[in-house]
Amino acid sequence: MVEMETQTEVHEHRHRLFEGMAHAVAAKGYADTTIADIVREASVSRRTFYEHFSTKAECLIALYEASSRTALKVLRDSIDPQHEWQTQVEHALSAYLGCMQQNPVLMRTLFIEILGLGTEGLASRRRVNREIADFMLTVVNGGEAGRKRAVPLSPGMAMAVVGGINELILEYIEQDRVGQLLELVEPSSQLLRAVTEAGA
């Protein structure tokens, strides 16, 4: 029973530190955010921070990857193999963008501030983008529904589509339009259709 409580506390502290990081970075930017800012926003001690993370960069990357895993789960859970891939992709985009739309504070942290970490942040972003591109390949190329395309979407083009969608999202973040991210479902779907039709 004691072990269960300890695990619960660990989970709670990490969640609070993630929230504290997101709010502190949204208010001050990553470069100006200090560990004191993070623990104040999280309402935990500095000691608690160091029990979980060695640096603020490690905390930001952990936040980025945890949030990205949640978004990927939303993508995967939105798929219905009974539908054609075009419909599956539209449902997935709606679920994905809708999930992001619900947390505007986190969006700036995930899409902009992560790049401030240099090579380490870029590598983390690449890993996440590759997972999304792999998911796209599975859906578009018929792996989920058992239907194969005559000319499969290539990994490079899937990554290009992910990059294009990310740029659309970045533009909305910069314009303070996170609350309208669902408007991007249609242009994102059009981009993917254009790429797949060009290769057909």
Domain of residue 29, CATH code: 1.10.10
Residue 170 structural domain = 57-198
Is pTM, for the whole model, over 0.85?
no
Task: Looking at the structure, tell me whether residues 38 and 120 fall in a common domain.
Answer: no
Mean pLDDT by groups of 10 residues along the chain of 200 residues: 60 93 90 95 95 95 90 85 82 90 82 86 91 89 58 90 94 92 94 79
Single out the residue in 53, 75, 91 at which a domain terminates. 53
Distance from C-alpha of 33 to C-alpha of 25, rounded to nearest angstrom: 6
- Whole-number pLDDT of residue 1: 37
Task: Looking at the structure, tell me whether residues 77 and 163 fall in a common domain.
Answer: yes
- Whole-number pLDDT of residue 143: 54
Task: Looking at the structure, tell me whether residues 88 and 141 fall in a common domain.
Answer: yes
- Whole-number pLDDT of residue 45: 94
- Whole-number pLDDT of residue 75: 84
Single out the residue in 10, 31, 53 at which a domain terminates. 53
- Whole-number pLDDT of residue 97: 92
Task: Looking at the structure, tell me whether residues 4 and 41 fall in a common domain.
Answer: yes
Task: Looking at the structure, tell me whether residues 62 and 81 fall in a common domain.
Answer: yes
Q: Are 65 and 107 in contact (CB under 8 A)?
A: no
Domain count, the chain: 2
Task: Looking at the structure, tell me whether residues 4 and 25 fall in a common domain.
Answer: yes
Task: Looking at the structure, tell me whether residues 49 and 61 fall in a common domain.
Answer: no
Cβ-defined contacts of 22-26 (< 8 Å, 24+): 22/63, 22/105, 22/106, 22/109, 23/105, 25/60, 25/108, 25/109, 25/113, 26/105, 26/108, 26/109
- Whole-number pLDDT of residue 182: 94
Task: Looking at the structure, tell me whether residues 44 and 20 fall in a common domain.
Answer: yes
- Whole-number pLDDT of residue 149: 59
Single out the residue in 53, 73, 96 at which a domain terminates. 53
Residues 6+ apart with CB under 8 A from 140: 85, 89, 149, 152, 153, 158, 192, 196
Residue closest to 64 by CA, chosen among 115, 11, 130: 115
Task: Looking at the structure, tell me whether residues 40 and 88 fall in a common domain.
Answer: no
Distance from C-alpha of 113 to C-alpha of 117, rounded to nearest angstrom: 8
- Whole-number pLDDT of residue 147: 53
Task: Looking at the structure, tell me whether residues 168 and 134 fall in a common domain.
Answer: yes
Task: Looking at the structure, tell me whether residues 20 and 118 fall in a common domain.
Answer: no
Task: Looking at the structure, tell me whether residues 116 and 29 fall in a common domain.
Answer: no
Which CATH number covers residue 179? 1.10.357.10
